[in-house]
């Protein structure tokens, strides 16, 4: 899932806007806005993200407020706090995670192509 990290928003950094990237990016600070990528997003412990996230994969250990859409997988690791909806074919929630929202399980893109639906 995760490849070499191509970008980092470090602890103490606060960014508002739109972010897109290829590969894997990590947020340890604060981001507010829209995130789009086919790659992997890592939200570190202590990080705070507000907005709409549309990625291939995401691993959350920090706090997210908003809608998460992942083409392949969402993994919530303690002490993650997620307030909002999740759309993904695969959802993993570890013990100790707070998830306050709805989850819609979708089909993986490859399965949709293979079945023709």
pLDDT tens sequence across 32-62: 999 999 999 999 999 999 999 999 999 999 9
101 versus 1: which is more confidently predicted? Answer: 101
Q: What is the mean pLDDT of residues 13-41?
A: 97
Distance CA 39, CA 54 (A): 10
Q: Domain spans of the chain? A: 5-115
Q: What is the pLDDT of residue 107?
A: 86
Q: What is the pLDDT of residue 29?
A: 97
Q: What is the mean pLDDT of residues 63-84?
A: 98
Burial 43-68 (b: 16+ CB within 10 A, else e): bbeebbbbbebbbbbbbbbbbbebeb
Structure tokens at 45: 């412990």
């Amino acid at each position: 899932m995760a490849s070499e990290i191509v970008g980092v928003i470090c602890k103490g950094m606060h960014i508002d806007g739109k972010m897109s990237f290829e590969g894997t990016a990590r947020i340890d600070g604060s981001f507010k806005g829209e995130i789009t990528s086919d790659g992997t997003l890592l939200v570190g412990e202590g990080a705070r993200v507000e907005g709409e996230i549309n990625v291939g994969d995401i691993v959350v250990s920090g706090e997210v407020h908003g809608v998460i859409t992942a083409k392949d997988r969402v993994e919530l690791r303690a002490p993650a706090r997620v307030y909002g909806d999740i759309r993904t074919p695969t959802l993993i929630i570890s013990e100790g995670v707070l998830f306050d929202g709805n989850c819609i399980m979708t089909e993986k893109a490859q399965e949709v192509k293979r079945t023709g639906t």
